Amino acid sequence: MKIAGSRRLHELSAYAFAAIDERVAQLRRQGLSPVDFGVGDPTIPIPEAVRAAICRGVERHKSAGYPPYNGSAEFRRAVASWTKRRFGVELDPDQEICSTIGSKEAIFNFPEAILDPGDVVLLPDPGYPPYERGTLFAEGRPHFLPLRAERGFLPDLDSVPAEIAARAKIFWLTHPNSPAGRVAPPSYLEEWLAFCREHSIIAASDEAYSEIYFGPEAPHSALEYGRDGVVVFQSLSKRSAMTGCRVGWVAGDRGIVSLFRKLKTNIDSGTPLFIQDGALAALEDESHVAQMRAEYRAKRDLLVDAFARAGCPRSEPEATIYIWQRAPKGMSGIEFAQRLLEPPIAAVTLPGEAVSRLPASAGDAGYVRLALVPPLAECQRVARAIAEGGF
Ligand SMILES: Cc1ncc(COP(=O)(O)O)c(C=O)c1O
């Protein structure tokens, strides 16, 4: 039997990160072992205390049945107290927090709870692909806002045409920004929220990288500026290297959280309770997060310096696990990624074109994204090769 698959699925280009996985496998089959900076998946083990809590959780919930859709009461209370400690914001664990199976599914599915066909979603370019794909699957219309270096990689609110703002229902902000690694100043967050309120648009703040920052001050949450019309997407994937556990949450405006919860009861059956036990342990401990920040910072410093010594524009992230490295003048992201893949550098990076339509359309210099996930020794080897090779 030949199954054609849906029109919507066919219309999508291959998921960029899957294509990178394929390329790495291909090179490995040829006997090469390039260092993989492609996918943003931490290689650091899940913290020991978290692993132990998960193991205990398996016994504790040995006949637990389906977990609650919105997370256990214990989990939601832990999220509320972390949010209070970290951002000084009080959340009602019953009405204003809902667990997710990691942020990706939540981001992809969220538009289904909000959009009618043809409604507009404002989203950053470059940006996390599920913002666009979730919009398309919900039959919405993405409106991309370019992030340019000269504007601090922040969406230009004045550039949104009035008729687009009037039809927009969701505005995605990645804060701190991925892949550009910038932290928005509080004044920008306030302007963004005022813009969303003025046009009755949901301010959807993706804060997956809020804990991986390098400056003296921790990034703020959009929730610090009020929760009316605001929803934050959080995740333990990067904060606690728990990508494989699939656990996060949405928090904010109770009306929006309630719509999301209703949607979710139709899509999934909740985060496993033993994983939620691991999340409780992760949220209680900040020392592993500080250690992780230090490791990412060491790798960031090495590679940022190496690129600068090789004659590339200095591209230093303030946060996230990525370097969004500008290509040497005249080179596209794809060409730059191909250069970096050549021995002796032999590094797999993600060409900017995979997460952005900007370089091709706007004639900007290209970018590559490096996820700082390989072990430090491999980063050192690659950094040496970059600095010595030049561009
Ligand atoms: C910007 C951004 N948001 C959200 C996520 C989702 O993370 P997860 O689904 O693991 O929680 C990622 C993952 O790479 C990301 O880069």
How close is the Cα of 389 to the center of ligand 1, in Å? 33
Spatial separation of the C-alpha atoms in residues 288 and 362, rounded to whole Å: 41
Tell me what the mean pLDDT of segment 220-238 comes to.
97
Tell me what the mean pLDDT of segment 83-110 comes to.
98
Report the residue among 153, 209, 235, 242 best suited for mutation to probe ligand 1: largest number of ligand atoms under 8 A from its CB.
235
Domain edges within the chain: 7-45+288-389, 48-284
Q: How many CB atoms lie within 10 A of CB 54?
A: 21
Architecture in CATH for domain 7-45+288-389: Alpha-Beta Complex (3.90)
Nearest-atom index, ligand 1, CA of 237: 10
Is-cis flag, bond preceding 176, omega within 30? yes
Q: Which residues pair with 122 in a beta bridge?
A: 143, 171
User: Does residue 271 line the site of ligand 1, with CB under 6 A?
Assistant: no
User: Does residue 79 line the site of ligand 1, with CB under 6 A?
Assistant: no
- Tell me whether domains 7-45+288-389 and 48-284 share a fold: no
CB 79 within 8 A of CB 207: no
User: Does residue 128 line the site of ligand 1, with CB under 6 A?
Assistant: yes
Average pLDDT, the chain: 93
Please tell me the least confidently modeled range out of 126-130, 179-183, 364-368: 364-368
How close is the Cα of 11 to the center of ligand 1, in Å? 23
Tell me what the mean pLDDT of segment 238-255 comes to.
97
How close is the Cα of 103 to the center of ligand 1, in Å? 6
pLDDT, position 359: 54
Nearest-atom index, ligand 1, CA of 243: 10
Tell me what the mean pLDDT of segment 152-161 comes to.
97
- Render pLDDT for 129-144 as a digit per residue (tens, 0 to 9): 999 999 999 999 999 9
User: Does residue 280 line the site of ligand 1, with CB under 6 A?
Assistant: no
CA-proximal residue: ligand 1, atom 14 (nearest): 40
Q: What angle do CA 340, 343, 345 make, to 5 degrees?
A: 50
User: Does residue 177 line the site of ligand 1, with CB under 6 A?
Assistant: no
User: Does residue 210 line the site of ligand 1, with CB under 6 A?
Assistant: no
How close is the Cα of 339 to the center of ligand 1, in Å? 27
User: Does residue 253 line the site of ligand 1, with CB under 6 A?
Assistant: no
Spatial separation of the C-alpha atoms in residues 317 and 85, rounded to whole Å: 25
Residue 187, C-beta contacts closer than 8 angstroms, at least 6 positions apart: none
For the chain, what percent of residues have pLDDT higher than 90? 80
How close is the Cα of 245 to the center of ligand 1, in Å? 13
pLDDT, position 21: 63
pLDDT band at 123 (very low <50, low <70, confident <90, very high): very high
Spatial separation of the C-alpha atoms in residues 207 and 220, rounded to whole Å: 9
Q: Provide the whole-model pTM.
A: 0.94
Report whether pLDDT(120) > 90.
yes
User: Does residue 174 line the site of ligand 1, with CB under 6 A?
Assistant: yes
- Render pLDDT for 299-344 as a digit per residue (tens, 0 to 9): 999 999 999 999 999 999 999 999 999 999 888 888 898 889 888 8
CA nearest 165: which of 200, 138, 123?
200
Q: Give, in words, the CATH class of 48-284.
A: alpha beta
pLDDT band at 255 (very low <50, low <70, confident <90, very high): very high
For the chain, what percent of residues have pLDDT higher than 70? 95
Strands 35-36 and 230-235, sheet pairing: unpaired
Tell me what the mean pLDDT of segment 159-170 comes to.
98
Strands across the sheet with 141-146, in order?
Answer: 97-100, 248-252, 230-235, 202-206, 168-174, 120-125, 141-146
How close is the Cα of 39 to the center of ligand 1, in Å? 11
pLDDT, position 20: 55
What's at 360, amino acid-wise? Answer: A
